[in-house]
Amino acid sequence: MSIDPTTGEETHINFIRGFSKLCAGTEIPPLFAFWCGLAGVSICLGRRVWLDIGLFKAFPNMYVVLAAGSGQCRKSTAIGAIETIAANVEPPFHFVSEKLTNEGLIDYMYKIRAQRPEDEGDKTAPYYSEAYAMVDELSTFLDKRSYESGLAGSLIKMYDCRPRFEYRTKTKGVAFIQNPCLGLLGGSTLDWIRNAIPTDAIGSGLTSRIIYIYVEKPSPPCAWPEWTDEHVTLSLDLAAAMQTMSTIPSGPAEIQPDAKEEFMRLYDEWHRTQGGEHMMFLNPNLAGYASRRFMHLLTVAMLFAVAEHPTHAAVVVTHKDIVNAHKQLELVERYMPKIMFLIASNERGFNSELVQLRVASFGKDGISRELLMRSLTNKLSQRELDEILATLLTAGRIRRDILPGGVLMYYPT
């Protein structure tokens, strides 16, 4: 927080840019830092603001999953950094960070039941149950058993922010939750995502509401990131920004006419091209996401608007917000066809894609067969690896070189 020398008023940093700056010089990939910054804004808002779109509303909560190899790309570090900053906000946010049954989640949300600060004491004012699931490993929160036991259905309804959630429990009869809102920021490997979601559920329902953020190659190693007085000040400024954003007046957001026009243009183009560059509507694994894509866009645009002007009495979505939201979704959508294919594929197909991704992660430097085998020893035998490499070579998806001494090196094409 600082003081504007011309007006004497307090100014707040843009939380998304500020968090990305805080993570610079660490092993957290910029893409993870950016989306965690977005999630930080989302945590502050809950269902406090929304965009009215005819018969339905777009809310600023998100389900975001950071995906990379096990122990790579500092997924947990990025999520933990957001939690640490958020811990300085009062009253505290409600975080779900442990494995819960469907009934356990419903009970947790039911107990939150709180009024807006401005409505406290008004017995006629509505109650809200807003929380964010912060899970370093998605598999500790969601697996196939919990998915099939009804947790997925509850996650869908709480994501949709319906005004009333009704559920019949074994011990308490019918439970009513007024104005629920749940967000999620989780980390996972592609293998864990695959094991968490039933194959027949891919492409619709819960998976269409998740934005997968995939990073192929880890950031350069950094043994000891700097933590200077400037970093301390920045982290305090970020906490102050969250405090301010969490008190934005409740009400509908506005969208400027040129922003609405651009949104409608992009929407028409998306449908005309069958889902953009990747023709997502024609992919059964992505058709659900494609149909919801522009709700995601509006959510991200709202978060941009709030981050840029956290002290404004009303949230106003601009043309710039719509354009930037579209660009950021395009960036992460490049990998979505591959991610969804991996989740839906059989064991052989999954392992083939895993080998290609591992080779691609080393880029022009290439990876030796020995190192490739060592990195996949828990997944593949030597024979299985050689068969997959031969298939990928024949398909032209990788290339091979033989170095002096007979060292086999593999490179992406």
Distance CA 305, CA 324 (A): 11
Backbone angles phi, psi at 198, to 5 degrees: -60, 145
Instruction: Tell me how far CA of residue 74 lies from CA of 80, 209, 334, in angstroms.
Output: 10, 24, 21
Q: What is the pLDDT of residue 5?
A: 46
Instruction: Tell me how far CA of residue 4 lies from CA of 9, 253, 330, 410, in angstroms.
Output: 5, 26, 35, 55
Model confidence, pTM: 0.87
Q: What is the pLDDT of residues 361-391, one digit of tens each?
A: 888 999 999 999 998 888 889 999 999 999 9
Contact 276, 330 (CB under 8 A): yes
**10-residue stretch averages of pLDDT, the chain, 413 residues long:** 49 92 96 98 96 93 89 88 96 87 88 82 86 90 80 92 85 82 92 72 80 90 93 96 94 96 97 90 90 96 96 92 97 89 76 87 91 88 92 92 93 92
Before 91, cis peptide (omega within 30)?
Answer: yes
| Cβ within 8 Å of residue 386, ≥6 positions away | none
CA angle, residues 113, 115, 121, in degrees to nearest 5? 120
Structural domains of the chain, with CATH = 2-249 (3.40.50), 346-412 (1.10.10.10)
